[in-house]
Amino acid sequence: MTVQLDAPRAPVSGGPRQRHLPGEEGLWVFILGDLLMFGVFFGVLVVSRAKDVVVFAEAQAHLHVELGLLNTVFLLTGSWFVARGMQALKARSPRRTAWFVAALGTALAFATVKVLEYSLLISEGQTPADNDFFMYYFVFTGIHLAHLVIGAVFLTILVTIARRPQLTKGRFRLAECGAVYWHMVDMLWLVLFPLLYVVR
């Protein structure tokens, strides 16, 4: 039997309002573990930079900051699209699918720009074998790009869910998982970008 998410709820008298944790508990365990892993990455980068400031500064000057900034705009815009899409999905708005398609477009745009940036750096002779900075740059941004690809899969699932005529509680919970994961991808980049491109 299909249960409509937006079915009216019976009023509850007395007691505090129960808070809702988006997605599944298992996803939050994964995200916390992932954040811990990236926290270690960030710490390693900061410590290594302090030990070899000159090499890191010279290598950092070769990065294309404008491309990194463009990708930051893509991810921030994508997160806004996802947030609007979730609101539209819950309200069963006719525009719900369009928001998620737009978010998927920002994910593809980010990946395209990142591959372009990799190609430019390699063509200019900057590779992971050059020094510690570029080793960290390619490894950390590569891991983040892999996370983004997984996020794009989630966004594709969100598009599929949004296109369905009925929204069950299970489908909405899956949509929440995809939205939470995408916001994590965005948040990780918001730390990676300044650490790699800006902080000297």
Question: In this predicted model, what pLDDT tens digit does every residue of 106-132 receive, in sequence order?
Answer: 999 999 999 999 999 999 999 998 899
Superfamily of domain 37-198: Cytochrome c oxidase, subunit III, four-helix bundle (1.20.120.80)
Return the exposure string of 32-71: e unless at least 16 CB atoms fall within 10 Å of the residue's CB, then b: eebeeebeebeeebeeebeeeeebbeebbeebeeebbeeb
**Distance between CA atoms of residues 200 and 168, nearest Å:** 49
- Which tokens go with 199? 């902080």
Residue-range domain boundaries for the chain? 37-198
Q: State the pTM of this model.
A: 0.82
Q: Which residues contact 84 (CB under 8 A, 6 or more apart)?
A: 99
Question: In this predicted model, what pLDDT tens digit does every residue of 58-109 receive, in sequence order?
Answer: 999 999 999 999 999 999 999 999 999 999 999 989 999 999 999 999 999 9
Predicted pLDDT of residue 24 = 65
Kindly report the number of other CB atoms within 10 A of residue 91's CB atom: 11
